[in-house]
Chain A
């Protein structure tokens, strides 16, 4: 299957700082990428839909000024957690669909963010 690379896999940052997470589709072009957040023993919750060349669409309750999403190319989307707080600590995971075939969704390895 197609490969989605997410970096970093794990990051620890201090409260008040910003953290950028990258999501790359390595062998296909992704017009749309999705960002999810997963709490312990909970389901993956969709945060936002990232569209190449346009503004992201955020789900209800997700602060767009806190979770900045940029989709600058067909293979790269970034999520920046701004002014991070301990409650932002979570597992963040991205997903991408092949623009040619909108069937299967492929996921990155996830990023474990810990804010201290």
Chain B
């Protein structure tokens, strides 16, 4: 059974810092991996999608990498801002069209 773990559970940084969020999964046979952002009491916003054949994806200040063989992904946030404060969720799917399996998330707080 696939399990997704995110470390750390919570992170507080001052504005401007670069930071890395970690995600690991137990079964390397994934179809793709997605990173999401969730604000308190809100739904999920998709940040980056990495197909199993890809190594990384970039969007603005965000960069996600994938090492499928070792079961790891990282989300790099450059020059963090207070508006980045949210919970970041990592999720994997085993096959095309199947449900996502989520980690518990990393709650990020960026202070000004």
Provide the bound-state CA to CA distance between A112 and B91, in Å.
22
Provide the bound-state CA to CA distance between A108 and B34, in Å.
16
Q: Is the CB of B104 within 8 A of A43?
A: yes
Q: Is the CB of A112 within 8 A of B41?
A: yes
Task: Compute the total of residue contacts between A and B using a CB distance below 8 Å.
Answer: 57
B24 part of interface (Cβ distance < 8 Å)? no
Interface residues of B, dominant DSSP: strand
Q: Interface digits, B43-86 against A, CB 8 Å rule (1 contact, 0 not)?
A: 11110010100000000000000000000000000000000000
A78 part of interface (Cβ distance < 8 Å)? no
Which of B43, B100, B104 has its CB near the most chain A CB atoms (within 10 A)?
B43
A113 to chain B, nearest CB (A): 12
Q: Is the CB of B46 within 8 A of A106?
A: yes
A34 to chain B, nearest CB (A): 5
Total chain A interface residues with beta-carbon distance under 8 A: 26
Interface residues of A, dominant DSSP: strand
Closest to A104 in B: B49
Question: Residues of B contacting A105 with CB < 8 Å?
Answer: 34, 46, 91, 93, 100
Provide the bound-state CA to CA distance between A112 and B34, in Å.
24
Question: Residues of B contacting A49 with CB < 8 Å?
Answer: 99
Contacts known (A32-B97, A95-B100, A102-B97); A109 close to B49, Cβ less than 8 A: no
Question: Residues of A contacting B41 with CB < 8 Å?
Answer: 91, 110, 112
Interface residues of B (CB under 8 A from A): 4, 32, 34, 36, 41-46, 49, 51, 89, 91, 93, 96-97, 99-105
